[in-house]
Each structure stands twice: as structure tokens, then as C-alpha cells.
Amino acid sequence: MRNLSHPLYLVRHGETEWNGVGRYQGLRDSPLTRRGRDQAAEIGRALSKQVSTSNGPLRAYVSPLGRAQATADIIEKSLHLDRTDDVRLREISTGCWDGMSLYEIDIEYPGALDGSDRGDWYFRSPDGESLEAALARVRAWLQDVQTPALAVTHGLTSRLIRGVWLGLGDAEMLDLPVPQNGFFRLLEGRADFIPCGQTKS
């Protein structure tokens, strides 16, 4: 992967109502919880201390899905952004499984999750996005991104972006953490997590 000349700040959207009940969203949406809004506000304040916008607003690439847009809206209250919606930052879709919990999938599609783990089950769906297709769009986006920049995206997509950036194998990248109480700074072959404190629900 090409070396970025300036930092890329990678943010997962704040907690949503479906996050709280274990429902996978994919291309569907649910609103940010109060905690999710607080997380986004904390990230905005922390970024404003890290990033100088004296030469103009920070370039921001934002997934078009509602939860990412809402997170970017809150961050923008603390940091002047030059926003671009980029569909390549959307979440991976599990097709007909979008909006379902693992329990519901197991009931409606018996055996489909047998032998899967917390990373690869997303790609067991009969009509979802393949790992190969998701990796292709993430790689294309990373080739195009101009830094310094902020990306507001999703849990699984964030794993793939960091995995490609770090040169990890498929299993390693799918096992990466996806916290919502901070952001990652990608620079010089590293992906450092910057925590923004714990929020109360």
C-alpha cells in the first residue's frame, strides 16, 4: 500500500440502537444512541486538538449511510470539514441478512453459520458482498485518498481499511478491534488508536 504523506484519521460511527441489541446493520440504518452522539462529540473535540485547520478545512470522506453522516455532522461542530460522500466507505452488506441478529440468521438459515467465527460470518450470506469485492473498493479508495484527511466509516469497513494499510492477511484483519470511543491515526505504516474517553449512556 502506498505511504501516506500526512495522517489519515479513521473514525467508526458512534453507537447506534442496533449496535446496542446485536443487530448487524450492513446497508440498513438505525439512529445513533445518546451514547453514540456523545462519542462523536468527544471524537470531534479530540480531533480539533490534533488537527490544524489554519490553512483551511480538513478534507473528510464520509460514508453515505445515515449513521456515518450523523457522526460526521456532530464532529463538524468541533472541526471545520470539507466533506465528500464516498460510497466506497459504506459498510459491507450481508444482503438479506442486513438488519438481522446472529440468532435470527441461525433460525432462518439453519447451518449457514456453522464453522464461522466473529470475522468471516459476514461473508456466509447467500447474496451479500464478497470479501474480494469489499477489499477491492477499500484498496481503490486508499489509492485515491488525499491526506491529511478524516474518514467516517463503519466497523467492518474500518477493519479492512486498516488491514490493507498494515498488510495483514484476511483472518488477521477481520479480527481487528472496532472501538467507537476514539479514532485511528494511519501514518508511516502504523495505525495508532487515539482513545477519547468513556462515555456514559
Total domains, the chain: 1
User: To the nearest whole number, what is the mean pLDDT of the chain?
Assistant: 93
- Rounded Cα distance between 166 and 152, Å, is 19
For residue 3, being part of any structural domain is answered with no
For residue 201, being part of any structural domain is answered with no
- Helix ranges (H only) for 102-169 are 102-108, 131-144, 155-166
What are 58's three cell numbers? 480538513
Question: Which residue numbers are catalytic?
Answer: 13, 91
Asked whether the beta carbons of 113 and 47 are under 8 A apart, the reply is: no
Question: Is 60 exceeded by the pLDDT of residue 200?
Answer: no
For residue 129, being part of any structural domain is answered with yes
pLDDT in tens, 126-166: 999 999 999 999 999 999 999 999 999 999 999 999 999 99
pTM, to two decimals? 0.94
CATH number at residue 140: 3.40.50.1240
Going by pLDDT thresholds of 50, 70 and 90, the confidence category of residue 2 is low
Which strands sit side by side in the sheet containing 182-187, from one edge to the other? 81-85, 58-62, 149-153, 8-12, 182-187, 190-195
Question: Is 80 exceeded by the pLDDT of residue 201?
Answer: no
